[in-house]
Structure 1
Amino acid sequence: RLMAVYRGMAEKFKAEGLYAPAVFNYLRSLAAGNAAQPLDPSWLSYVKEARDEGSLEAIGILSHGQDKDQETFIRSAMTGVVTVYVDKGLKIEGGRGYPDRVVGSAFQIDPSGYYLTNYHVIASEVDPEYEGYSRLSIRPFLHPEARVPAKVVGWSEALDLALIKSQEISSYTFSLSAERIPAKGERVYALGSPIGLKSSVSSGIVSASGRKILPRGEALQIDAPVNPGSSGGPLIDAKGALVGIVFAGLSGFQGLNFAMPMPWVRSFAIRLFKGGELSLPWLGFTVAKTLSGSLEVDYIFPSKTAVMLQDRIVAIDGMEVPDLDAAQRIISNKPLQSLAAVTLSRNGKLMTILHRCTSQISKPFEAAVKSDTIENLVAGLMGMRIEHIRGPRGTGGTYKASVVWPGKTADESGISTDDTIKIVRFNPNIKIGIAVLDFIQKSPAKGYLEKTIRVGIRLDSPNFL
């Protein structure tokens, strides 16, 4: 009886063109009826019209259902993984020409031939600063000798995600249904084409979660073997659920690899269907976590804002933000130009301000180098607040460290509150994304012993809201 009710609702929604709720009611009708009742693949034609988070989840369920065992699932899932090739022509080294290729992996998330991969794999296809030759193609699982042309639909450099489209349609479509983050020690499997070796499966465990590697979101640290060519491949758990997308491995370090977890992948994959570069909303400041666990503003991008340094962010739109990941997820899901109600604590007083969510500038600190003062940049990049004492502002000036946030570069460099800092040289290199800072430190705790320190700081901070 309940099955008939759900089936009737499914047909009603389908007739109204509301495909995602139609499919979910269809799935509910199956759950309410005979568990052995087969799925009707014809519903895929309705699901793919919607392309929202719900429809992408339903697509995966309808396209492959529930596989019975791990071996069957992995064998089936591999048919939805393709090798990505970017032909960049020839590179000249020592007077000789060598093929210049980028190899990666991708997996189908829509049965019309849409595949998810990493931005860095296909960057030459869309990077306006790249002026060379670039041709994108994929090698399907069932026809590995073929190279099928593909095109980039949407991308996000900050999230290292890209959606590509090809006429090649795989028989398997991955479901973006998982919301959970796998636990530390949990077994996971990376599928892809390491160094171009197609149809490879490697296994390992989740070593940690919450790693700040990308400018937005957090990453899973895994020890499953990952090599060049694995980037963009799916990460699945022991039950076959998609739990992430592999995006990086650190060369020279064994078992130190990373994947973006599904809560972030799912939130943004659907937006890539709109085409073009994905604009991410932001508020324009960075935060640091204090020893008490609160989020404190430690740098403000040059702009008009009511937020002040050392403001403590309590909630956004009425939702508590216990950590940076929670705050970034709330802001990331807001429409551009919308207002965010930011509740903060300033000097012990709670207040709520309205802050407009504008489009985040690509590589904010690289842009800030051209417009902000040296002392603000040093303080923001190092993770400390400094007060001018004497001498010129910026290079050659002497400052006092009034606040040092834990876990930031200043703290790890041995700088403590009340230390004096003389800026000797600040040299940002935008081309390589690194700033070199030379400074002289004197610490009261160490008898004002003078120490000269050189620090290299990345210009792609992951702490912006």
Structure 2
Amino acid sequence: MARLFALNRSVLKSHLQAGHASLCAALCVTALSAVLVQPASAQSNQSSGSGAMVKGLPDFTELVEQVGPSVVNIRTLEKAAVRDGQGNEPDPEMQEFFRRFFGVPMPSPNAPNAPRQQRPNRGQPDEQPRGVGSGFILSADGFVMTNAHVVDGADQVVVTLPDKREFKARIVGLDKRTDVAVVKIDAVGLPAVKIGDVNRLKVGEWVMAIGSPFGLDNTVTAGIVSAKQRDTGDYLSFIQTDVAINPGNSGGPLINMRGEVVGINSQIYSRSGGFMGISFAIPIDEAVRVSEQLRATGKVQRGRLGVQIDQVTKEVAESLGLSKAQGALVRGVEQGSPAEKAGIEPGDIILKFEGKVIEKSSDLPRMVGSIKPGTRSTIQVWRRGSLKDMPISVGEVEAEKPVKKAVAPEKPPAANVTKLLGLTLSEMTDAQKKELKLRGGVRVDAVAEPASRAGIQEGDVILSLANNETPNVQTFEAVVAKLDRSKPVSLLIRRGEWAQYTVIRPTR
């Protein structure tokens, strides 16, 4: 632009000297136009030089027309005995329910002009509204997917289609662990949703939800994927979004821009009970796997090992010689479980299952849970500085058992003091070993610094020190004598039914 201006200035000067004033004016207009009106390509180049071009916001209208007919409203009813006596008015909470979800007040059954069917039958059970949720049509023959918490405990489920047709639904099956349920209505030719690929879903991608928040049918909200693989449960990692989800949205679909269902809206993070910008959806691939089992057998079979696990911290990993903090720390092994039969011990670090690396402890129950019970698998553990591969036969998940209370240990016959670690120790009796099902170990009778700082407590049993088994006090003290006082050292301790690692820094 500066070069163009310099050129025109010399031309203007020569024409002014020759008395051509009108021609000079024309040249000025031409130069100014060249500066102000730049080609589109030049503007585009300037924009691209400062960053990516800003795109327009997405239009969801076509998606709503495409997926909307497949999203249903789900109402649940439960039987409740009508209260007896004078002044039998509806419960205030039920009145508020009717006002918020149906837009009308709940009629009093004792009103003089109340219809006969609304008057109370003394002592007879009556069906009352229980809750409202959402769902979506899985198949044209009437299978509908929703959340387990929407239909769990309901005596009757009513599904309302967008065209206002209502059907009484049968609960095919529900799985509380994943919060997935399948119900069936007697209808054919229904518009089923398209199932998407969760692996293609990206953080920052636009997504949309359709549901019935607060009973407001076919409400559409939109946002982006905030995160993937968000750990909030034992068997699922959730999709996190900022899509507005409120009570009544539960069970509705999360939809990508291709009109495919990628998740089931299930949970929100809230301090008020309403939406606060964080919501969670069950990945559709996990939900479909569960639904297939529910449709086939009415229940879900999951594999189990029979271990209690915990995270492996960076400090514990370093003290055990692991290159990084990964895997699942075995804190306890259930009696008679597949893990016990395979030889897994408390203190083992499970690094792989069926050849797949376990990055964090929550990966293990998901991997094992997806395996059919009875399958022969291989598990890799890190035990006292070395890798060990073990064959294991996967069991089946059972109902949770109450945790057995730890029995108070007998008074030890003698005590020995290890001042370097701040521990007063004693040998375990045969009865104590039998009770805890241990081959050996030393019992902690008292703690001082630095043991107390490491969280060690009286009554703990130390099973290993610095990756060396400590079946008795003599072996324990021999290991202590060889310790490098400048470095922290790991201890594997047993506390009641549980085992855990802790790191202690010796006194210098």
TM-score over 0.5 (shorter chain): yes
Match of 1:115 among 120, 144, 155: 144
Q: Which residue of 2 aligns with 1:412?
A: none
Does the residue aligned with 2:194 lie in a helix, a strand or coil?
Answer: coil
- Kept after mapping to 1: 8 A contact 2:330/2:349: no
Match of 1:356 among 378, 393, 398: 393
Q: Which residue of 2 aligns with 1:439?
A: none
Matches within 5 A, 1:27-66: none
Q: Distance in 2 between matches of 1:119 and 1:173?
A: 20
Q: Which residue of 1 aligns with 2:296?
A: 274
Among all aligned residue pairs of Structure 1 and Structure 2, give the percentage whose two residues are the same amino acid.
22
- Kept after mapping to 1: 8 A contact 2:72/2:160: yes
Match of 2:191 among 169, 172, 183: 172
Report deviation, 1:420. Answer: 4.2
**Relative to structure 2, which stretch is displaced further, 70-79 or 150-159?**
70-79
Q: Which residue of 1 aligns with 2:15?
A: none
- Kept after mapping to 2: 8 A contact 1:174/1:242: yes
Match of 1:213 among 226, 232, 247: 232
Match of 2:327 among 274, 281, 295: 295
- Kept after mapping to 2: 8 A contact 1:136/1:150: yes
Q: Distance in 2 between matches of 1:374 and 1:251?
A: 41
When residues 312 and 337 of structure 1 are mapped into structure 2, their CA distance, relative to the original with a 3 A threshold, is: same
Matches within 5 A, 1:376-391: none
- Kept after mapping to 1: 8 A contact 2:167/2:185: yes
Matched, 1:138 2:175: no
Q: Which residue of 2 aligns with 1:75?
A: 65
Q: Distance in 2 between matches of 1:158 and 1:279?
A: 11
What are the Cα deviations for residues 248-269 of structure 1, in whole angstroms up to 9, with x where unaligned? 1234351222111233223322
Q: Distance in 1 between matches of 2:138 and 2:355?
A: 33
Q: Distance in 2 between matches of 1:324 and 1:183?
A: 24
When residues 416 and 289 of structure 1 are mapped into structure 2, their CA distance, relative to the original with a 3 A threshold, is: farther
- Kept after mapping to 2: 8 A contact 1:112/1:169: yes
Partner amino acid for 1:160? D
Does the residue aligned with 1:330 lie in a helix, a strand or coil?
Answer: helix
Matches within 5 A, 1:253-332: 254-290=276-312, 291=314, 292-300=324-332, 302-304=334-336, 305=340, 306-324=343-361, 326-332=363-369
Match of 1:373 among 385, 393, 406: 406
- Kept after mapping to 2: 8 A contact 1:79/1:170: no
Report deviation, 1:303. Answer: 2.2
Partner amino acid for 2:68? M
Q: Which residue of 2 aligns with 1:84?
A: 74
What are the Cα deviations for residues 91-126 of structure 1, in whole angstroms up to 9, with x where unaligned? 88997444441111111112111111111111104x
Does the residue aligned with 2:294 lie in a helix, a strand or coil?
Answer: helix
Q: Distance in 2 between matches of 1:119 and 1:400?
A: 48
**Relative to structure 2, which stretch is displaced further, 332-341 or 88-97?**
88-97
When residues 420 and 372 of structure 1 are mapped into structure 2, their CA distance, relative to the original with a 3 A threshold, is: closer
Matched, 1:151 2:170: yes
**Relative to structure 2, which stretch is displaced further, 72-81 or 86-95?**
86-95
- Kept after mapping to 2: 8 A contact 1:109/1:115: yes
Q: Which residue of 1 aligns with 2:241?
A: 222
When residues 326 and 179 of structure 1 are mapped into structure 2, their CA distance, relative to the original with a 3 A threshold, is: farther
If the length of structure 2 is used for normalisation, what is the TM-score?
Answer: 0.55
When residues 354 and 160 of structure 1 are mapped into structure 2, their CA distance, relative to the original with a 3 A threshold, is: same
Report deviation, 1:329. Answer: 3.9
Report deviation, 1:388. Answer: 10
Does the residue aligned with 1:183 lie in a helix, a strand or coil?
Answer: coil
Over aligned residues, Cα RMSD in angstroms?
Answer: 3.5
Aligned residues: 316
Q: Distance in 2 between matches of 1:399 and 1:360?
A: 39
Partner amino acid for 2:176? E
Q: Which residue of 2 aligns with 1:346?
A: 383
When residues 138 and 389 of structure 1 are mapped into structure 2, their CA distance, relative to the original with a 3 A threshold, is: farther
Does the residue aligned with 1:355 lie in a helix, a strand or coil?
Answer: strand
When residues 140 and 417 of structure 1 are mapped into structure 2, their CA distance, relative to the original with a 3 A threshold, is: same
Q: Distance in 2 between matches of 1:75 and 1:416?
A: 63
Does the residue aligned with 1:73 lie in a helix, a strand or coil?
Answer: helix
- Kept after mapping to 1: 8 A contact 2:69/2:162: yes
Q: Distance in 2 between matches of 1:203 and 1:92?
A: 42
When residues 181 and 272 of structure 1 are mapped into structure 2, their CA distance, relative to the original with a 3 A threshold, is: farther
Q: Which has the higher strand share?
A: 1
Report deviation, 1:196. Answer: 1.4
If the length of structure 1 is used for normalisation, what is the TM-score?
Answer: 0.60
When residues 399 and 335 of structure 1 are mapped into structure 2, their CA distance, relative to the original with a 3 A threshold, is: farther
When residues 110 and 373 of structure 1 are mapped into structure 2, their CA distance, relative to the original with a 3 A threshold, is: farther
Does the residue aligned with 2:331 lie in a helix, a strand or coil?
Answer: strand
Matched, 1:102 2:131: yes
Report deviation, 1:206. Answer: 2.3
Report deviation, 1:389. Answer: 7.0
- Kept after mapping to 1: 8 A contact 2:381/2:388: yes
